[in-house]
Amino acid sequence: MNNFKKPESSLWKGRSSQEKLYLHEKVICTDKLQKGHLKTFAILSYACDEGVKRNQGRVGAVTGPEAIIRQLAKMPNHLKKETQLLDVGTVFCVDNDMELAQQTLANKVTTLLENNTFPIILGGGHDIAYGHYNGILNAVEKHKTIGIINFDAHFDLRANTNGNNSGTPFYQIAKDCKANHTTFNYLCLGIRDDANDASLFKTAKELGVTVIKNEEFNLHQSKKIQKQISTFINSVDVVYTTIDLDGFSSAYVAGVSAASPMGFSPDIALQCLKTIIKSGKLISLDIAEMNPTYDIDNQTAKLAASLVHNLIHTA
């Protein structure tokens, strides 16, 4: 079953120049990778919201990656001439087979990392995390520890007793870690009491999850937050960062599956992302839950695109 399609160059449109002033003029659309020594970022789309549907959420994130790319394409290019930006295509869900989509995603992530390429995965539901993590796991040396940093209102630690969905990825990862006798290293930024029931807090405690709750996740607590993030990063070998857009306040992101005005703001997220990047341990990142159906004036897509723009110009 083919659940991958090549990149669509028609999505990359914007103002024209003769000097590659915009990212749509810089990007190379290709699914052919060559191992090299140049700094290379690869955008891979995960067009799947089957996990959101299973989790009884608002569907629509399947078109999220396309919406983000359309906004990113218009943005200015400040990358060095030798830095490469690729669009390597889209993994999508066929016949509701989310597990196959996750496996395909994992295989693509592994290939990107093995070719010295930094993956930026655009979703799609937060089930993106399980496939993404397994792709990293297959690419790094077995002795290396992987730290997960999740910007999110939710733990996504729901038990998968009744099946996998967008609320179970980190529980699945924790189970796999236990089965493989490895440590589960998980830091959550922006967790809200009104978005997680008591059983999820209990699960997080039992699994040793590091939590910075939403009421503490702001610029006023910046020094303390940066110290906690640095401590976490120092305890692992490599870092995988996942950004669930529904962690942001709906004042900034209306276009998500689970919007709330009580989320965090972009300024603290950008500051933390900078700390993570500067550690030198960040090897892959994804953005989840972009839902164009509920977006207003493309604000959510623009915020997601700005996060990618910030990453590629900082890393």
pLDDT (tens digit per residue) in 12-58: 999 999 899 999 999 999 998 877 777 999 999 999 999 999 999 99
> What letter represents residue 16's amino acid?
S
Asked if the model's pLDDT at residue 298 lies above 80, the reply is yes
Prior bond to 124 cis, omega within 30? yes
Sign of torsion, CA 239 33 314 5? negative
Q: Is 137 within 8 Å of 144 (Cβ atoms)?
A: no
Largest CA distance in the chain: 57
pLDDT (tens digit per residue) in 46-92: 999 999 999 999 999 999 999 999 999 999 999 999 999 999 999 99
Asked if the model's pLDDT at residue 314 lies above 80, the reply is yes
Q: What was the pLDDT predicted at 33?
A: 84
Q: What was the pLDDT predicted at 125?
A: 97
Q: Is 126 within 8 Å of 137 (Cβ atoms)?
A: no
As a whole number of angstroms, the distance between CA 250 and CA 262 comes to: 8
Q: What was the pLDDT predicted at 223?
A: 97
Asked if the model's pLDDT at residue 270 lies above 90, the reply is yes
Instruction: Classify 159 in phi/psi space as left (phi over 0), alpha (psi -120 to 50) or beta.
Output: beta
299-314 and 266-278 helices, crossing angle to 10°: 20
Q: Is 30 within 8 Å of 265 (Cβ atoms)?
A: no
Asked if the model's pLDDT at residue 117 lies above 90, the reply is yes
pLDDT (tens digit per residue) in 126-166: 999 999 999 999 999 999 999 999 999 999 999 999 999 99
Q: What was the pLDDT predicted at 51?
A: 97
Q: What was the pLDDT predicted at 35?
A: 78
Helices (H), 115-235: 128-139, 169-179, 198-206, 222-234
